[in-house]
């Protein structure tokens, strides 16, 4: 492209060229909404490009200043964005509150924190860079709801026709009164800019008398109150003291609303980003604060260790052993990356890696074992024997020694399970063997796991483990 930003050539070198071309095409030709809070998984699906390469491409694009990366805390109920942060360091430890659902949530990085990309205003100016100028429904679609909510034009039309009784655009410092005929249903008056809500429980005999309700928007997020009214006319007075334009919307909280906002599609989670090798490499010093602890409800850990590495150095000498160990590391790291994992750290001759799903870790372990067999065959020896252990469970993402790491009993168990291996066998725990997808991999490879009880150092009770011979 003749008018491509200067960062394009750098992106082409850092990312997959096809992905780089698709990203630049999007910047050049995409409509404004397509460049706001881009869902990398959706982009991969639409373009037919590999997910991991697309994620890597957008991460490099953010590093080069083509896009701004934001971490959006989501409500699991309605899919609304409760807060947007420019870095994971800004995530709060207290609960995030959703006015539309009247619920509070801790920001779990598994499914409640979305990583999204918006084109930089220095590259191309889009309407969402000035969100308070967006029309009401554009604001809802582009700012309030996350990229994981499946909204097409028909869905937005159904929302405004079947769910919404009234909506208003109220500039800062102004007030207005709107008239509504209340149906005998539960009503929500929701304001997406300040996230303020008032519930109206409409019940009893209908009335012809005008009922009145006043709401003030001041930017303070308070607990949601419920007002009981009767079916019939309502004069709703709205007073904007928030300092910004507000968009009060009167909705019927019926099945139509739940159906529309319940349509979801996959999105790029913070957990997946933390387990992405490109992200770890590019943003290694900017992931978390030193005292920050992010809870992850489920992550898969794979530990490896090179058997009898000290004896290996004695048998073949330092120089030959160094070459062997380096070749072993290179093979392991390539496999981890290919199986959608990320290397957390290497410890001596050992590797600690994370995967989003247990089946990816098992595939990596089986490939590692095959790779060591090939390296040994190439050298006419059996010097390289890698012990492998895999475990899945909850953990904390933390900063240790100036890098993003993980802490918790799940990590300890994964490391201890690896130590059970004495040769090329792989050891799995029950959560791994029971995970969807793992049985299919073992069946395809004609592997029958060997079940056994094992005592793990530092773990009080014996654990059921599964040996993959």
Report the distance separating Cα 32 and Cα 38, nearest Å. Answer: 11
Strand order across the 67-74 sheet: 81-85, 67-74, 113-119
Locus of tokens 């980003």: 273
Locus of tokens 């899919």: 79
Half-sphere exposure of 412 (CA within 13 A, CB side): 10
Asked whether 369 and 291 are in contact (CB, 8 A), the reply is no
Report the distance separating Cα 113 and Cα 84, nearest Å. Answer: 9
Half-sphere exposure of 370 (CA within 13 A, CB side): 8
| 260 backbone dihedrals φ, ψ, rounded to 5° | -65, -45
Asked whether 107 and 91 are in contact (CB, 8 A), the reply is yes
Q: Where are the domains of the chain?
A: 7-130, 159-261, 289-468
In residues, how long is the chain?
A: 469
Largest CA distance in the chain: 96
Token readout for 411 is 């990590």
H or E element, residue 452: strand 450-454
What was the pLDDT predicted at 4?
66
Segment-wise mean pLDDT, segments of 10 residues, the chain, 469 residues:
73 94 96 96 96 96 96 92 91 85 85 95 96 93 91 71 89 96 95 95 96 93 90 97 95 81 89 93 76 88 80 58 78 94 90 96 95 83 85 91 87 91 88 94 93 80 88
What was the pLDDT predicted at 381?
74
Report the distance separating Cα 81 and Cα 154, nearest Å. Answer: 22
Q: Domain 289-468 class?
A: alpha beta
Whole-angstrom CA distances from 291 to 28, 130, 201, 397, 400 are: 41, 34, 44, 11, 9
What was the pLDDT predicted at 88?
87
Pairing of strands 350-355, 186-191: unpaired
pTM, 2 dp: 0.88
Token readout for 242 is 């928030």
Locus of tokens 């869902």: 39
């Amino acid at each position: 492209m003749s008018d491509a930003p200067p960062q394009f050539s750098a992106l082409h070198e850092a990312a997959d060229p096809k992905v780089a071309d698709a990203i630049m095409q999007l910047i050049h030709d995409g409509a404004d909404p397509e460049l706001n809070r881009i869902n990398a998984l959706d982009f991969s699906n639409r373009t037919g490009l590999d997910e991991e390469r697309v994620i890597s491409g957008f991460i490099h694009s953010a590093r080069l200043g083509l896009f701004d990366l934001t971490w959006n805390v989501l409500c699991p109920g309605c899919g609304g964005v409760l807060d947007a942060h420019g870095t994971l360091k800004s995530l709060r430890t207290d609960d995030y509150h959703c006015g539309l659902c009247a619920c509070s949530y801790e920001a779990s990085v598994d499914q409640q924190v979305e990583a999204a990309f918006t084109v930089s205003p220095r590259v191309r100016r889009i309407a969402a860079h000035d969100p308070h100028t967006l029309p009401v429904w554009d604001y809802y679609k582009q700012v309030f709801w996350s990229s994981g909510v499946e909204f097409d034009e028909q869905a937005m039309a159904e929302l405004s026709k079947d769910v919404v009784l009234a909506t208003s655009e109220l500039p800062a410092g102004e007030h207005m009164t709107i008239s509504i005929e209340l149906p005998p249903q539960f009503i929500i008056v929701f304001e997406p800019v300040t996230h303020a809500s008032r519930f109206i429980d409409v019940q009893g005999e209908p009335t012809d008398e005008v009922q009145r309700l006043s709401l003030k928007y001041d930017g303070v997020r308070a607990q949601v109150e419920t007002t009981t009214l009767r079916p019939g006319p309502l004069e709703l007075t709205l007073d904007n003291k928030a300092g910004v334009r507000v968009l009060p919307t009167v909705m019927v909280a019926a099945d139509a609303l739940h159906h529309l906002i319940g349509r979801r599609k996959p999105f790029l989670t913070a957990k997946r980003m933390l387990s992405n090798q490109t992200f770890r490499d590019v943003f290694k010093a900017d992931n978390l604060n030193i005292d920050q602890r992010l809870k992850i409800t489920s992550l898969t850990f794979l530990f490896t260790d090179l058997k009898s590495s000290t004896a290996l150095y004695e048998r073949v000498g330092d120089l030959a052993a160094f070459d062997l160990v380096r070749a072993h590391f290179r093979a392991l790291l390539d496999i981890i990356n290919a199986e959608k994992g990320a290397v957390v750290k290497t410890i001596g001759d050992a590797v600690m890696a994370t995967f989003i799903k247990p089946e990816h870790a098992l595939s990596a372990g089986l490939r590692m074992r095959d790779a060591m067999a090939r390296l040994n065959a190439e050298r006419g020896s059996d010097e390289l024997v890698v012990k492998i252990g895999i475990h899945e469970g909850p953990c904390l993402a933390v900063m240790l020694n100036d890098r993003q790491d993980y802490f918790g009993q799940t990590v300890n168990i994964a490391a201890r399970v690896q130590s059970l291996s004495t040769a090329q066998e792989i050891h799995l725990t029950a959560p791994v063997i029971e995970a969807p997808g793992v049985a299919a991999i073992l069946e395809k490879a004609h592997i029958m796991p060997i079940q056994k009880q094992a005592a793990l150092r530092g773990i009080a009770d014996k654990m059921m483990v599964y040996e993959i011979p």
